[in-house]
Structure 1
Amino acid sequence: MKALQLFFCFLILGQGSLAQSFNNLPVTTQKPPLHGRHWMAIGGKPLAATAGAMIFAKGGNAVDASCAMLAVSCTMWDVLSWGGETQALIYHPKLKKVIAINALGVAPTGAMPEFFKEKGMKYPPEWGALAAVTPGTPGGLLTMLAEWGTLSLKEVLAPAMQMAEGYPIEAQTANSIERAKERIKEWPYSKKVFLTHPGQEREAPNAGEIFVQKDLLETLRKMVEAEQQALKRGKSRKEAIYAAYDRFYKGDIAKEFVRGCQEQGGLITEQDLAQWKVKIEEPLMTTYRGIEVYKLQAWTQGPAMLQTLNILENFDLKSMGYNSTRYIHTLYQAMNLAFADRDFYYGDPAFAPEEPIRGLLSKEYAKERSKLINPLKNDPKAAPGDPYPFEGKQNPFKSLLQQWGTSQSQLYRPGHPAADEQFYARFQAGTTTVETADKEGWVVSITPSGGWVPACIAGNTGIGMSQRMQSFVLDEKENPFNVVAPGKRPRVTLTPSMALKDGRPYLSFAKQAGDEQDQLLLQFFLNMVEFDMTVQEAAEAPSFKTLQMYTSFGEHEKSPGGLILNSAMPPWSRKELARMGYTISYQDRTSGPVNAIWFDWANGSMWGGSSNHGEDYGIGW
């Protein structure tokens, strides 16, 4: 793309904030919707979207662009690092199907419940080398690029490598480093990278300072070098990219990563890295009002949104009115039931026992669950159901079900749980998003995460290790499907989303923020489907949040009846909800951040939407 074209791309981002609803009546949104005919790139930071635009300008497709955006997001520490995990849904226009990418790391050798219990831990730790599963993002990026991209790794990593050479760090990341500097000082390689002003009052970089990452640049250079050497040997484009994959997971990069991990008390071995593989899977799907909604399998929380939609099909949501007391209560109760199932039945499908996913996603099971909703008050004891009869089986965990939820230490009871910074931070921990689409029909939705600040960097690789081990449990009474074991993937919160209507892409959407993800993605989706909002209106519309599911981080606590409302909620609704048994907190902005692309087939164009807080935004052309 010529410089003038890029100028107009940015000019679009700066235009006025008047959006058009579907019936052409003007509606004010705080961000303008994005419009594109040829491509769309939306991410957690503007510079990530810029990287996507650069790749599209080179002639790359949506997969190429998403990989470049992912690489840049990791390099910018947009609440993730290269050592984290990547989850994606890809719409393949030639096959006319949605493909699922499982690039989540696994628990390393020696990661058994007894190991952590002997250390006096109730769960695997939140921080440090012992919190790390094997890195998944490099493998996920390389696999997507090799299988469905068109450009070379050298071309796709170029923006990230430029940033590793030095880029003006943003205030959000710089300040998070400063806040976490005492923990960062515990890890020598992290201290070397993050604390650019050691001994001064502010030891983190200043906003706008050129932040240089020499070790990470060298790691990326080695990956590109492996690709280029393979091409010189006559290897194909795909084979050359997988040569970079092998150098990361089996070569000198792997050796240094393992050395640095183990030096700092971690368990990851060279064999753990060499044996780990990206999985290309079939996604899960349900229908809602004739729309196909796709999620990843039960190693994520994604199916909980599908379960909730199945329950909500038994109610006339539109007649309740958007964000009415009855609407909020019905969604809250439906989510409680689905998330209780998540907390007990979800885990890595590659390990026994087998998750009863057919029963969980059964419309008949959802209908039975919907009958449990009391229209007058909250049920603080909402528990997992029994999906096994809906598969024609007997539940082998009935005795555990009877004990579920009895741990008083996991109940968080303060009057305003959202006011407790540590408790609420665990509900919205980490994560960013990448959304891309192109005129050829490729659509990509990614929710990558892991290795966020304060990250423990593995040796001289410049790579922050994942903190995802904490999402396991140690006691099968909590979840017999998610007990830690070597080679096993933890049940994560990360959950990209995609919807098809009439056999064509309808919506691609994702959001950051831990356990909040599927509950706010659900509301965003309903905003469009039930209330005819534009994608930007739906992304900005006030949402509410439940704190009644067990958080997937830290001490795995929950707050029965905990409800976060938008500050604009009228007094009479607040009073009604309090009377129904909710413990209410308030936030000024509750919409996300959600990033999404809506496909306007009538006009042959794409609309992009991004919530009105955070640094998320994009570019369309």
Structure 2
Amino acid sequence: MKKIYLITLLLLSMNSFGQGLPGLGAGTTPTNKPILHGKNWVAITGKPLGATAGATIFQQGGNAVDAACAMIAATSTMWDVLSWGGETQALIYNPNTKKVIAINALGYAPTGATVEFYKSQGMDYPPQYGPLAATTPGTPGGIMTMLAEYGTMSLEQVLKPSMELAKGYPIEAQTANAMESQKARIKEWPYSTKIFLPHLGEEREAPEVGEIFIQDDLLQTLSKLVEAEKKALKEGKPRKEAIYAAYDRFYRGDIAKEIVRGTREQGGLFTEADLANWKVKIEEPLHINYKGIDVYKLQEWTQGPVLLQSLNILENFDLKSMGYNSANYIHTVYQAMNLAFADRDFYYGDPAYVESPMKGLLSKEYAKERSKLIGEVNDPKITAGDPYPFQGGTNPYLDILNKNQEAMASLTPDQFNSTLDEHFISGFQSGTTSVETADAEGWVVSVTPSGGWIPAVVAGNTGVGLSQRMQSFVLDEKLSPYNLPEPGKRPRVTLTPSLAMKDGKPLLAFAVQGGDSQDQNLLQLFLNIVEFDMNVQEATEAANFNSYQMQSSFGDHESRPGAMVVREDTPTWLRKELAEKGYNIELWNKTSGPVNAIWFDWKHGTFWGGSSDYGDDYGIAW
């Protein structure tokens, strides 16, 4: 029996449950995709053609910001679970200032979008789809601001790949089949029908896989942006001002007028003032230090600080001694994430409207107190804590918090649902894409653009699909007094690019798609590399696990306390141990992300790119 057990351990050390363990040696474990090695640049994103767009810009002499902008534009044009009316948020490392910059290009709630309005429509939450789910477009402004402030190329150069795609490209299966499967809802909106269902009346009304997909309206919109830039350049304006002239045409000119007209025609709330008054914000990111590594995330209008809180909590445990994906390791990380996500659900929101207690939430002292709540078994009754005393303040919503804690404590085990169904999973892990770039000059960009996925309402004759991000608001202050809709307010989103620095230099740029699972997968990728010595490709392919104990940010904002997804090659004995700790285990073929990442090899002056084998994500390096 002992001999069989030892053989089992040996086999585990050779598969996903032993990747990167001490003694194996980094880079020796076979991976399904090769590591991307480059000395000049790296471009990784959600689709091969998107990575090609970035490579094209790099080969023409652009920097990592230029390439990232081209990749966002290309993936938006390809409807890679996002479109041009969605949102963009980024972290950029500027080698000239040695600082990390945060880009907030998330749209906001339009005029009339209030708690009272949505409740008057008989809604418990803002809708998942349709014109009333739309925030103002953010991605065009994000691209143009990033390019103007930190890029080197013209807008025309950066938009050329996406304009070529709009003229027609061979559509891939994921997007074409999404159009077909969602055609009943798409037919509710005439401008969407015109684009997504070119074979209306036939058995298959969406494009066939590999068919040339043409978007004339979007091409005209992008052409107008280039026209505005060219006109400004002809008038003698510098590159930066010329790009902002295109920005103004989108948000204040004829494009804006058509977006508003087309949206209101279909029942939306947009006004011209909503678009004209919206602005991209260049912000200071949040960060913590984990064992000598500075980890940067966007502010609390995203879920990004969850990863920072989780790391602070986990710093109180010896994770390495537990062993990669052992029962104790999985349990500890799962519980740490639940504690951080409980705080996210209650406290995170647009800081321009309600100031969240981020100083307390990210303090090491608060994390230490939260870590004491981790017991031997899963606790389905975890709620938000009170970080205000850890920043010398008093919680203005203490009464709501106490009532929530009392209500949760009174629940019995049969009142918790820990089963996973397809509808819940599809909402909880709604995909998007990610963009990671780096260049030899030192520029590093990590982006998680999203919004306007299929089925999307297209805004009139612009070809611009609108975001569905209003659904991330809640309408009940018991769920979150910080994330209630108001005109001009940004919803708290799941999108969460990441950068890590060590000794003042970039160490890791990483991002992932997948709704509320994003910071769960990113946390595990980071720990795979930092605690278990995996190389970046091993870490992107490694077996992750997911919790569903937090509130979903989509649909009806449900949760599934104790539900856990693990990879299907998880040993039976390990699943049994997890079940004994109170988890309801679901097996999946792949659980790695899909994560994209760049690791910086300062010893050799090169880049290591990693792209998980989960989906269509793809990278190119040189």
Question: Which residue type is aligned with residue 605 of structure 1?
Answer: T
- 2 CA distance for matches of 1:489 and 1:457? 21
Q: Is the 8 A contact 2:320 2:532 kept in 1?
A: yes
Counterpart residue number, 1:602: 603
| RMSD after superposition | 1.4
Counterpart residue number, 1:428: 429
* Structure 1 position 25, deviation (Å): 6.1
2:373 paired with 1:372? yes
1:27 counterpart SS class: coil
1:382 counterpart SS class: coil
Counterpart residue number, 1:394: 394
Paired residues in the alignment total 597
Q: Is the 8 A contact 2:20 2:533 kept in 1?
A: no
- 1 CA distance for matches of 2:461 and 2:40? 41
1:489 counterpart SS class: coil
Question: Which residue type is aligned with residue 47 of structure 1?
Answer: L
Counterpart residue number, 1:462: 463
- 1 CA distance for matches of 2:581 and 2:402? 26
- 2 CA distance for matches of 1:52 and 1:463? 22
Counterpart residue number, 2:445: 444
| 1:333–1:239 Cα change, 3 Å | same
From 150, 153, 156, give the equivalent of 1:151. Answer: 153
Counterpart residue number, 2:576: 575
2:360 counterpart SS class: helix
2:361 paired with 1:360? yes
CA deviation vs aligned residue, 1:390-410 (integer Å, no higher than 9, x gap): 1111111111002327489xx
Q: Is the 8 A contact 2:417 2:561 kept in 1?
A: no
* Structure 1 position 415, deviation (Å): 5.6
- 2 CA distance for matches of 1:588 and 1:208? 26
CA deviation vs aligned residue, 1:69-116 (integer Å, no higher than 9, x gap): 000000000000000000100000010010000000000000110101
Counterpart residue number, 1:177: 179
1:197 counterpart SS class: coil
- 2 CA distance for matches of 1:471 and 1:404? 20
Structure 1 residues 147-546: aligned runs within 5 Å: 147-352=149-354, 354-374=355-375, 376-404=376-404, 406=407, 416-417=419-420, 420-546=421-547
Question: Which residue type is aligned with residue 613 of structure 2?
Answer: N
- 1 CA distance for matches of 2:267 and 2:227? 31
Counterpart residue number, 2:103: 101
Counterpart residue number, 2:613: 612
- 1 CA distance for matches of 2:349 and 2:34? 39
| 1:25–1:150 Cα change, 3 Å | closer
Could you tell me the percent identity over the aligned residues?
68
Q: Is the 8 A contact 1:105 1:276 kept in 2?
A: yes
- 2 CA distance for matches of 1:404 and 1:338? 16
Q: Is the 8 A contact 1:430 1:450 kept in 2?
A: no
Q: Is the 8 A contact 2:418 2:560 kept in 1?
A: no
* Structure 1 position 477, deviation (Å): 1.1
Counterpart residue number, 2:7: none
Question: Which residue type is aligned with residue 178 of structure 2?
Answer: S
Contiguous gaps of at least 5 residues in structure 2: 1-18
| 1:193–1:25 Cα change, 3 Å | closer
CA deviation vs aligned residue, 1:309-337 (integer Å, no higher than 9, x gap): 00000000000000000000000110110
* Structure 1 position 579, deviation (Å): 1.4
2:89 counterpart SS class: strand
| 1:38–1:392 Cα change, 3 Å | same
Question: Which residue type is aligned with residue 605 of structure 2?
Answer: G
- 1 CA distance for matches of 2:163 and 2:275? 24
TM-score, normalised to structure 1's length? 0.95
- 2 CA distance for matches of 1:609 and 1:25? 12
TM-score, normalised to structure 2's length? 0.95
Q: Is the 8 A contact 2:69 2:146 kept in 1?
A: yes
Q: Is the 8 A contact 1:412 1:558 kept in 2?
A: no
Question: Which residue type is aligned with residue 403 of structure 2?
Answer: Q
* Structure 1 position 430, deviation (Å): 2.8
From 4, 29, 32, give the equivalent of 2:31. Answer: 29
Question: Which residue type is aligned with residue 262 of structure 2?
Answer: G
CA deviation vs aligned residue, 1:552-607 (integer Å, no higher than 9, x gap): 00000000111111111111111111111111111010000000000000011000
Counterpart residue number, 1:3: none
Q: Is the 8 A contact 1:412 1:559 kept in 2?
A: no
1:383 counterpart SS class: coil
Question: Which residue type is aligned with residue 387 of structure 1?
Answer: P
- 2 CA distance for matches of 1:387 and 1:605? 41
